[in-house]
């Protein structure tokens, strides 16, 4: 597959400067389930009170949480952490295994909770100079933004499409997140590669349904993930259940446009280049379009593809008319012509599944 794995290192457009902003199982394959879930979450207003993104630590009037005193943690995988002397260190409660991934600011390791052998993932995120904290209700001290967004995204009824944060700790130079680790799982980039670079439409449909649900639920809980991409979606290779991870580029959802971009260039909405700003939902729809394009075409959309989409003549041999139509709807250059996030799963491409399951029931 001619797709290179992109990490956060090359994903920042600008460092985001935020001013103080107050803002704000039944068969899960079935359209009915999704529709109900959308309804449940769609009526929910984003959390808008009590949320506050704080400026970088060195500009904060408010003191960040008192850090636990520890020796600096090596970014390399450590099996025997002889350098840690305090039992307050969250890492002392886990056995750390091999590295699962490494980005611009974070390294993620396999882990096992010593207490009960639960398999987890341990993300160790180095603090940058511009790191933001967030105040959220129920937490007396400000939290690292990534931690706070993940807590918010998981608030409310548990949803399987969003990774669960089991525990976390803020340390002087880094913060540590203990995350659920589905097993067996791969990120979608590896999954796609191990399937020859493209997926059939049925598999892609199941994945896109879940990714869309994850995005929608995040928004309904006031969170804009902003970096939905292959590497930030985990898939259980047995059940094909998908989970959204990595809220490190996220922000609180705001009604007004964002004017700085944080995320991955290849998934960036075109209006950011033309207008210098973008809104959360249409930008997310664009990234879902790039994701679907990758899954079924095995490559990123090229300029020529995007031009043909704009001319409403784009078509990929081997794909159904419905799939091509959905891709054209997701990748509309003009954000106001782009399909609405809430309407995606009602597109006729998803009806195929619903009709098929209905037929299978007879
Ligand atoms: P940064 O926040 O600096 O961009 P990153 O992008 O490397 O870091 P993540 O996306 O959270 O951070 O994790 C990197 C990789 O680690 C993922 O692409 C995935 O392969 C693996 N990974 C992350 N979280 C988990 C998890 N909970 N379970 C299994 N694997 C995970
Ligand atoms: Mg990532």
Residue with the smallest CA separation from ligand 1 atom 11 is 246
Q: Any idea which ligand is nearest the CA of 100?
A: 1
pLDDT digits (tens, 9 = 90+) for 127-179: 998 899 999 999 999 999 999 999 999 999 999 999 999 999 999 999 999 99
pLDDT of 79 above 60: no
Predicted structure pTM score: 0.82
Residue with the smallest CA separation from ligand 1 atom 18 is 231
Q: Any idea which ligand is nearest the CA of 101?
A: 1
227 annotated active-site? yes
CA torsion sign for 109, 113, 118, 123 is negative
From 170, 227, 251, 305, the catalytic residue: 227
CB-side exposure of 44: number of CA atoms within 13 Å?
20
How far, CA to CA in Å, does 34 sit from each of 81, 208, 209, 349? 45, 12, 8, 14
Rounded Cα distance between 116 and 113, Å, is 6
* Domain extents in the chain: 10-43+184-360, 52-180
Instruction: Output the CA 32–ligand 2 centroid distance in Å.
Output: 31
Sequential DSSP letters for 302-336? PHHHHHHHHTT----TTS-HHHHHHHHHHT-SSTT
Instruction: Output the CA 179–ligand 1 centroid distance in Å.
Output: 10
pLDDT digits (tens, 9 = 90+) for 177-234: 999 999 999 999 999 999 999 999 999 999 999 999 999 999 999 999 999 999 999 9
Q: Give the right CATH number for 10-43+184-360 from 1.10.510.10, 3.60.15.30, 3.30.300.30, 1.10.1040.10.
A: 1.10.510.10
Q: Cis peptide leading into 232, omega within 30 of 0?
A: no
Assigned CATH topology for domain 52-180? Phosphorylase Kinase; domain 1 (3.30.200)
Instruction: Output the CA 232–ligand 1 centroid distance in Å.
Output: 7
């Amino acid at each position: 597959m001619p797709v290179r794995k992109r990490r956060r290192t090359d994903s920042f457009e600008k460092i985001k400067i935020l001013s103080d902003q107050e803002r704000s199982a039944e068969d899960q394959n079935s359209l009915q389930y999704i529709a109900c879930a959308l309804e449940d979450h769609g009526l929910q207003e984003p959390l808008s009170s009590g949320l506050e993104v704080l400026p970088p630590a060195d500009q904060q009037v408010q003191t960040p949480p008192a850090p636990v005193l520890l020796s600096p943690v090596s970014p390399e995988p450590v099996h025997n952490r002889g350098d840690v002397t305090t039992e307050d260190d969250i890492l002392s409660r886990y056995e750390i295994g091999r590295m699962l991934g490494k980005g611009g600011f974070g390294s993620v390791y396999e882990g096992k909770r010593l207490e009960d052998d639960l398999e987890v993932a341990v993300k160790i995120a180095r603090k940058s100079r511009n790191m933001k904290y967030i105040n959220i209700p129920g937490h007396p001290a400000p939290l690292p933004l990534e931690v706070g967004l993940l807590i918010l995204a998981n608030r409310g009824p548990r949803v399987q499409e969003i990774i669960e944060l089991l525990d976390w700790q803020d340390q002087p130079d880094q913060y540590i997140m203990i995350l659920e680790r589905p097993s067996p799982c791969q990120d979608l980039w590896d999954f796609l590669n191990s399937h020859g670079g493209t997926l059939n439409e049925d598999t892609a449909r199941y994945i896109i349904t879940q990714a869309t649900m994850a995005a929608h639920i995040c928004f309904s809980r006031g969170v804009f993930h902003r970096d939905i991409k292959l590497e930030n979606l985990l898939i259980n290779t047995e059940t094909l259940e998908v989970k959204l991870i990595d809220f490190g580029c996220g922000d609180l959802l705001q009604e007004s446009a964002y004017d700085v971009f944080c995320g991955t260039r290849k998934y960036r909405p075109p209006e950011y280049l033309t207008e210098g700003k973008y809104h959360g939902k249409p930008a997310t729809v664009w990234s879902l379009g790039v994701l679907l394009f990758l899954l079924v075409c095995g490559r990123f959309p090229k300029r020529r593809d995007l031009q043909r989409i704009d001319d409403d003549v784009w078509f990929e041999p081997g794909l159904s008319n419905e799939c091509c139509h959905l891709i054209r709807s997701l990748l509309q250059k003009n954000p106001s012509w782009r399909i609405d996030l809430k309407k995606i799963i009602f597109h006729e491409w998803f009806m195929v599944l619903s009709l098929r399951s209905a037929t299978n029931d007879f």
